[in-house]
Amino acid sequence: MGTPELISPRSARVAAAKRLAKRNIRAKEHRFLAEGPQAVREAAGHRSGGEPTLIELFTTPEAAERYTDVIDAAQGGGARVHYADASVIADISTTVTPQGLVGVCRFLDSPLSDILAARPKLVAVLAHVRDPGNAGTVLRCADAAGAEAVILTDASVDLYNPKAVRASVGSHFHLPIAVGVPVEDAVAGLRDTGVRVLAADGAGTDDLDTELDMGTMGTPTAWIFGNEAWGLPAETRALADAVVRVPIHGRAESLNLATAAAVCLYASARAQRA
């Protein structure tokens, strides 16, 4: 078989994909971009609302040859595959060094009611998180720790920001995520399903080590994580059952958001498995 025909840079499909770099277009179209072999591979195997999540895939012939499993999965799931030269991929991509694969995906967020109905045991709530890279990394940490859901409040960053999608390295497609939820509704709903709500904050009155020693961490738990710079506002801390700090045993001034989230989530996961 010869070299596949390349899609034109002036194609309407290319133009539509490029526009998804803008938040208002993503919100209007309910579509977002997933870049690189890992994210596209996960998208190709994911379904949302009974339909395949991956709609279209743009790839260079070289990337298609290198990642045949990704191309096969995309085509097997019903996605349209377009071959393009590297300049077209670079035009669509939001990364400095594209890897030759850019997928167009359907939104995949879940209603809060569906998450609560599943009675999750471990949940990460992102409240006032504004940096997309941090949001994606916390999502990845929650996935790795075995959390059963992630909730982004209405004061947090766009889940489908390309930087957030890259930072999650495919975790967007692994667990239910609710977006745009008022923090009060999230806390009330979680508490109604028997979930203990803990706010992670460096100024917390409770200590994570003490919580573990007391044996209180084994129950269903939701962790609220706040803004990278100024933490959680007082009104959000007041909603929680306890405000917990990660102890600093050395001389570091503090932990960044993703590191603190990983410590808290893994502490709960370990206690629950014990």
The predicted-structure confidence for 204-256, as pLDDT tens digits, reads as follows 888 999 999 998 899 999 999 998 778 899 999 999 999 999 999 999 988 89
3-state DSSP assignment of residue 20: coil
- Tokens, residue 105: 């995906």
Burial class (CB in 10 A: 0-12, 13-18, 19+), 86: middle
Helices 68-76 and 37-44, packing angle to 10 deg: 30
Cα distance between residue 207 and residue 198, in whole Å: 11
**pLDDT over 70 (residue 1):** no
Per-residue pLDDT tens over the stretch 8-24: 989 999 999 999 999 99
**pLDDT over 70 (residue 2):** no
Q: What is the largest CA-CA distance in the chain?
A: 67
Per-residue pLDDT tens over the stretch 120-174: 999 999 998 999 999 999 999 999 999 999 999 998 999 999 999 999 999 999 9
Tokens 């390309």 -> residue: 162
Q: Which domains does the chain have, with CATH numbers?
A: 12-106 (3.30.1330.30), 112-273 (3.40.1280.10)
pLDDT at 3: 59
C-alpha atoms less than 13 angstroms from C-alpha of 88 in its C-beta half-sphere = 23
